[in-house]
A and B are shown apart, each in its own frame.
Chain A
Amino acid sequence: MKLSRREMLLAAASTVSAASMGLARPALAQTDPIKIGWLAALTGPSSAPAVGFNRGVVFAAEAINAAGGIKGRKIEIITRDTQGDPTKAVNATQEMISQLKVQAVWGPTNSGESLAVTPILARAKMPNLHPCVVDTLIDPVKFPTSYRIAPSNTQWDDAVRNYTLKILKAKKVAVLGDTTGYGVSAANASAAAIKKDGAEVVYLANIDATQPDMNPDMLRAKNAGAEAIVCWSVSTGMLARLFNTRAAMGWDVPFIGHPSMSSGEIGSLIEKPANWEKVYAVGYKSCSYDAAGKLPAHSQELVDRLKGKVDLKDTLLWWVAAGYDAINLFAKAIETSGSTESAAITGYLNSLKKFPGYFGTYTYSETEHNGYQTEEVVMSAASSARDGAFTLAPGYL
């Protein structure tokens, strides 16, 4: 029989399609590692958190693997350095989904990257945990596979406002933000919530972070009768200038606000250590020392486990603890559900009630993917850093 070229091509094409459709794909061998993607901004200007998270991630994976893995399967962490750049984060995500075929993704660790990546993860139905604070990143309808492991910005704001109004009992509050998109929206939201709770916002301003002199805004706040200043900025230079100006004015008004107020860089920018007193930054109950200088027992257990293996001196305990919890949550999801399928992992997370992690106690449901409990967000004394943890602000003790 003589075959024409067209018949030959048709035959070849039908053979290939029959093979691809008719034959079942071989199931993953049960000894293959479980791949977890880790979108980490390990270098670049905003790398400090990811470096800390990474220590927890590596420690968790090693601990799980040393104990025999998950039903005999090792965990493999596949890390991609996004450098804090949303474009690189998107590329790394695509690679993880289509080429590396990971089972779940942890990260990215800053909101700018997450805003770019979350819709892609949702389209691929990829289970995702992240610690980013922007509220809109969590939406169980639009992004049904993404879960937050840390507080949202609203939860931070709630903690700051509760401390300012209920513990410090301030009735007149000044709210300051920087002129970035984050600073403006956070300050406006904060002021609105303070007013709703019945206190008076006597001064609301956005300050250019490069403004060399903070006297004008501080004088306006003082003249308006502010009893506390709520501050939303990640600019350590601006924050240090505010603290120095307060001291030069001889004013002892407390500052309450963004975790950046406790950043180590501020220590080198303030004129004297006393300028950093009465500054209370967002912190976490699990990573705070009590009056006796002790961590909660569960957190101390982690610190003891980390001793000699993970350095906490140049990072924050909550970053390490959250990194550990993220990997541990995925491991528990796969172990309990007995599957690495997306639906199994998200199904487990949706049924989670008060899961005792080291960083927090997580509760998720079909309709609530913010798992961190607001009551676990507390204020810390900003200048009290010791081994990555802070002392609780006065009033909790």
Chain B
Amino acid sequence: MLATIIASGLATGAVYALVGITYNTMYATSRVMSFTAGQVGMLGGVLGSLYMIVWGLPLLLALPLVLASCALIGVITEYVAVRPVLKSLEQHLYVLSTLALSLMFQQVTAIEWGTEPRPFPKLFGLGTGISDEKFWIPVIACILTIIGLEYLYRYTLLGRAFVAVAEDNYAAQALGLPERNLRIASYALAGAIGGLAGFSGGELMLAFFANGAVLNFYGFVPVALGGLGNNKGAVIGGLALGLFQQAANFMVGGIFASVAVFALFIIVLLFVPQGFFGSATARRV
């Protein structure tokens, strides 16, 4: 029983963490919390099923195609929902524009793909019971993403440019960094990470249009718990959320598990409003 809770808790937690990283990556260069993050995750599963089961593509072809498609969704988000709002309107209106675009992605998927969940293929066909691949693929995807992002941010010029824009947008622009292009690139990267979340969790969550809303909610929780913009916090927050949710599912079951998750979420935010790993920023008055 404990092993089951840990296996499925870590797996769902890893998917939430990846969606949390998607939120963070979009946030880093634009200061915008984009609610398309969960929908990109949903599309990762739906497109994975489309490419592999409907079109019959092999994994090695389907995975890059899913990541590229989701990166494109990320870029569309930047162009349609973020850029116009940042340019000409009060900043907080992005909540409405990204939420509207997110609902559009969901409804188009419902119309074109259907409202019933559809199967997601077995990627490798390895393991049974609690060692089933559906439990460890998301965890491995999450670890690889963290390693990849660390490498990108620490050792590549592009990554350092991302960090520079995230740190101080105006200073980065003054130094001649192409802020707008970097923002588009970060949205593409975020889209690919979100796509990977849905693809790696596809066997667990199936190819289902309603997963978008679920991932939007549960992907946001680790971001808030771990601290906005902090990937380490998102991963720890995501895994903790997954484990807590599964434990709550087992202890109190069904509807009350969601209540337990959000009760804990509110309590944490009351005491640590900046999240466990976020730093409280001083505001000049």
Contacts and interface: CB of A to CB of B under 8 A. Distances in A.
A179 B214 CA distance: 14
A220 B253 contact: yes
A187 B1 CA distance: 25
B201 A45 contact: no
A241 B117 CA distance: 11
A265 B115 CA distance: 12
Contact of A269 (B110, B117, B201): B117
A232 to B, nearest CB: 13
Interface string B1-27: 100110010011001000000000000
A268 interface: yes
Interface string B235-268: 0000000000010011001110110000000000
A90 B3 CA distance: 52
The B interface is mostly helix, strand or loop, or mixed, namely: helix
A212 B205 contact: yes
A235 B255 CA distance: 16
A212 to B, nearest CB: 4
B266 to A, nearest CB: 19
A269 B254 contact: no
Given A213-B246, A216-B253, A248-B132, A45 B4 contact: no
Interface residues of B, number: 33
Interface stretch (A105-113, A203-211, A368-376): A203-211
Contacts of B88: none
Interface string A39-56: 000000100000000000
Given A179-B254, A248-B128, A219 B116 contact: no
B141 interface: no
A118 to B, nearest CB: 25
A268 B206 CA distance: 11
Contact of A216 (B128, B201, B214, B249): B249
B136 interface: no
A216 B255 contact: no
Contacts of B116: 45, 236-237, 265
Contact of B210 (A205, A210, A219, A268): A210
Contacts of B132: 248
B31 interface: no
B58 interface: no
Contacts of A269: 117-119, 206
Among B8, B110, B116, B118, the most chain A Cβ lie within 10 Å of the Cβ of B116
B114 interface: yes
Nearest to A236: B116
B255 A208 contact: yes
Nearest to A234: B116
A216 B250 contact: yes
A217 B1 CA distance: 11
Contact of B255 (A179, A236, A265): A179
A65 interface: no
B129 interface: yes
Contacts of B210: 209-210
Contacts of A179: 254-255
B208 interface: yes
A219 B8 CA distance: 13
Contact of B254 (A206, A219, A240): A206
A153 interface: no
A265 B201 CA distance: 20
B113 to A, nearest CB: 11
Given A208-B258, A237-B208, A217 B117 contact: no
Interface string B46-71: 00000000000000000000000000
14 contacts: A45-B114, A45-B115, A210-B210, A212-B12, A212-B15, A212-B204, A213-B11, A213-B12, A215-B246, A216-B250, A219-B4, A220-B250, A248-B132, A269-B117
Interface of B: 1, 4-5, 8, 11-12, 15, 110, 114-119, 128-129, 132, 201, 204-206, 208, 210-211, 214, 246, 249-250, 253-255, 257-258
Given A45-B116, A207-B253, A235-B117, 12 more contacts: A208-B257, A212-B8, A212-B204, A213-B11, A213-B12, A215-B4, A216-B249, A217-B254, A236-B117, A265-B116, A265-B118, A269-B118
